[in-house]
A and B are shown apart, each in its own frame.
Chain A
Amino acid sequence: MSVRSEQWSPTTAPSLRDSSLGASGLPVSSLPETSLVPLPVAAPKGTAARALALLWARLRAISLHHAVSERHGGLVVAGMLAATGAFFLWQSLFLDLGNLDLPGPGFFPLCLGLGIVLGSIVIGVEQWRSSDRESVELGHRDVLVAMAALLIVPLIFEPLGAYLTLGLFGTMLLVLIARVPLLLALAATAAGLVACWYFFQVLLGLQLPHGPFEMGPF
């Protein structure tokens, strides 16, 4: 099934609930095969603008949306929980455990780490025995964009300053998720940040990092 890239949006994306099950029993993802779809671009052929527009259209059309077997995914999550429990259990061994009558600082985490490991094993066994037919949808384009943007924020928040970081963040989300034209997104973000500055900095007195570009009211 293919969807023209310019039409792709959360409301037009094919639902994975409609997908059929493949030979392996796993649901086959019915995703827009964007690489096979001719992308309508207004710029004349052979120009740099057209090349850029094509690249942009392809980037916007990338989708990693696919269904994961709930059983397999559940096993991975249970495994990660078990690993977390085991890590804390191991680390608590370096603390004073005390004894059963007078527990030390390491006693409680040791018991809890052990509890998480045991609980995860039970969950893992339940997942192992569960049906392979259920699936969980992962990799929605908008979710991935939001995740990527969020992961960048703590990296640049202090070096670049709060308002520049949040400006880039807001513009990115408005353009890529809300599909707002770039200029409108920039204007909306700027207006939003002025409101934020007034509320947080002027009214509440919060000093946010200004980065290397200390300017004006920011």
Chain B
Amino acid sequence: MTGFHQLMAGFSVALSWKALLYCFIGCLWGTIVGVLPGLGPLAGMTLLLPLTFGLDPTIGIIMLTGIFYGAMYGGSTTSILVRIPGEAASVVTCIDGYEMARKGRAGPALMISALGSFVGGTISILGLMFIAPPLAKVMIAIGPSVEVVLILLALGVIAVVSAGSRIKTATMIALGLLLGTIGLDNLTAAPRFTFGQAGLTGGLSFAALAIGLFGLSEILMNLERTETIKAIRPKLKELVPRWQDLKDSAPAVGRASVIGFIFGIIPGVSHVVSTFVSYAVEKRLSKHPEEFGHGAIAGVAGPETANNAVTGTAMIPLLALGIPSIPATAVLLSALTIHGVQPGPLLLTDHPEVFWGLVASMYIGNLILLILNLPLVGIFVNLLRIPYTWLVPIILIISIIGVYSVNFSATDIWIMVLSGLAGYVLRKFGYEVAPLLLALVLGDRLEENFRLALTMSGGSYATFLDHGAVIVLTSTLGLLLAVQALAWAFGYRKSFADEAESA
């Protein structure tokens, strides 16, 4: 079966009424969480994760992915009209988007943002379609040692590129890996940290932890917000951009698609970083850099295209290697695993309908979002009028029912509540909880492959340096850690010296 035939088979899955319905629900919910300040794609996905348990895995993953890229679309609306980024990847859009809106050009800003998102999203799906299958074939031939180094490299990069303190992020990663060890040992079936509780033998419920750490802590953080929101409301007829707008933004859309595509593979905060890089590139290449910050349309087109171009590429490491590169794809990994589908090199051979159904649904989802976001922008802006405190009970009730329904155990509600409180306190004191979640998802496989690699090599650590690919990956990891250790040590010494000097 050729790739084309497989894609057509994927479309037959994605065009079924059920897939279309859930794709629409995902895109709609994604746009809503993108529009509502403080609720990002991750919180949106974790909150609806339990709803997928009663669905077919392909349909469930189609809905969750719809939330992911829907939030990227929706995030731009509040950035442009209210100057409040709906989610982190839309921060840069605030700069020129809001300036355009203030000058009465909110319509073209929204239109170009939606068109750029559509182009970026579509290009990245093409990348996913062409890169993931051959990459998966290469991965099948590679042993556990490479997987160990790949996972360590992903976690190392996340620690380095995280926005907060690196030592705090590294500690969160270690905590995530540690929490992942709770339950039966994969190799010996020995119970670990279960304390005689049968409910813990399967490990901590990912859904409960993810909803607690992200959804619940996000809700608690948002309850503290007091600002009132005043939105600029464009009319439908004002949405049509001028010919000059299209001409000015087309090169930015093209460049940002490439930037987003490349950054999507890098683990960590790729969707956020790609927007900053795209903005910087556009400003550098512009003939009128002085216009940036005062309503340059390229300053909207670039970042918005880039953050959507990331969504498709971010799926490549997940679907081809089984390694989520960003927290949102960790939620997808968990959803697939719960359904008994293991993402990774064998996904394409064991469950081609999941892979190709997802790819096809992403094309359809991008179209749905384009249609949804332009004429309905007024409705989405009106969402900002609903008091947040009214949404809280609804979101929490859905979360509680969802978490309970995973194992039909009140213990999971306890886990959700306690991890929510822990996540709230940790975030208050500058800890990022996203790396913890990624580490939690990857912990099992890291340990299993590490011990497997050593068992297969008779206890020789040379297995992590015994052939080309693994040597390159291990050296990169070693270099990354050495540079960080040196930077930290010198930074620490300097701060001691500064302190002594000031004393």
Contacts and interface: CB of A to CB of B under 8 A. Distances in A.
Interface of A: 10-11, 13, 15, 70, 73-74, 77, 81, 84-85, 88, 91-92, 95-96, 100-106, 108-109, 112-113, 115-116, 119-120, 122-123, 126, 129, 136-138, 140, 142-143, 146-147, 150-151, 153-154, 157-158, 162, 166, 169-170, 173-174, 177-180, 189, 192-193, 196, 200, 204-208
Contacts of B421: 147
Contacts of B400: 153, 157, 166, 169
B2 interface: no
Contacts of B408: 207
A178 B187 contact: no
B178 A112 contact: yes
Given A101-B454, A112-B181, A178-B392, A119 B170 contact: yes
Given A154-B410, A174-B393, 19 more contacts: A10-B223, A10-B225, A70-B429, A105-B185, A109-B192, A113-B178, A116-B174, A119-B170, A136-B429, A137-B224, A143-B220, A146-B396, A150-B420, A154-B413, A166-B401, A174-B390, A178-B393, A179-B389, A189-B393
B417 A153 contact: yes
B490 interface: no
A157 B226 contact: no
Interface string B219-252: 1100111101000000000000000000000000
Contact of B397 (A108, A136, A138, A196): A196
B167 interface: yes
B145 to A, nearest CB: 14
Contacts, number: 174
B286 interface: no
Contacts of B137: none
Name the residue in A11, A143, A193 with the highest tally of chain B Cβ atoms < 10 Å from its Cβ: A143
Contacts of B224: 10, 137, 140, 142-143
25 contacts: A77-B426, A85-B175, A88-B193, A95-B192, A96-B188, A102-B454, A102-B459, A109-B181, A115-B171, A115-B174, A119-B167, A123-B165, A136-B428, A136-B429, A142-B223, A147-B421, A150-B420, A151-B417, A154-B414, A169-B396, A173-B392, A177-B223, A178-B387, A193-B397, A208-B404
Nearest to A84: B175
Contacts of A151: 417
A96 B223 contact: no
A81 B170 CA distance: 12
B190 interface: yes
A70 B394 CA distance: 33
Contacts of A150: 216, 396, 417, 420
Contacts of B188: 96, 104-105
Contacts of A146: 219-220, 223, 392, 396
Contact of B428 (A138, A162, A196): A138
A153 B390 CA distance: 19
B393 A103 contact: no
B226 A11 contact: yes
Interface in B160-189: 165, 167-168, 170-171, 174-175, 177-178, 181, 185, 187-188
B432 to A, nearest CB: 13
A120 B400 CA distance: 32
Most buried by A among B410, B421, B424: B410
Nearest to B189: A105
Given A108-B447, A177-B392, A81 B175 contact: yes
B102 interface: no
Interface of B: 51, 54, 165, 167-168, 170-171, 174-175, 177-178, 181, 185, 187-188, 190, 192-193, 216, 219-220, 223-226, 228, 387, 389-390, 392-394, 396-398, 400-401, 404-405, 408, 410-411, 413-414, 417, 420-421, 424-426, 428-431, 447, 450-451, 454-455, 458-460, 495, 499
The dominant DSSP class at the B interface is helix
Given A146-B223, A206-B401, A157 B413 contact: yes
A183 to B, nearest CB: 16
A120 B393 contact: no
A74 B428 CA distance: 9
Nearest to B496: A129
A137 B223 CA distance: 12
Given A73-B429, A146-B220, A153-B417, A10 B226 contact: yes
Contacts of B225: 10
Contacts of B171: 81, 115-116, 119-120, 123
Contacts of B401: 162, 166, 196, 200, 206, 208
Given A123-B171, A158-B410, A208-B404, A109 B178 contact: yes
Contacts of B413: 153-154, 157
B237 to A, nearest CB: 35
A151 B426 CA distance: 18
A100 B450 CA distance: 11
A115 to B, nearest CB: 4
Nearest to B417: A150
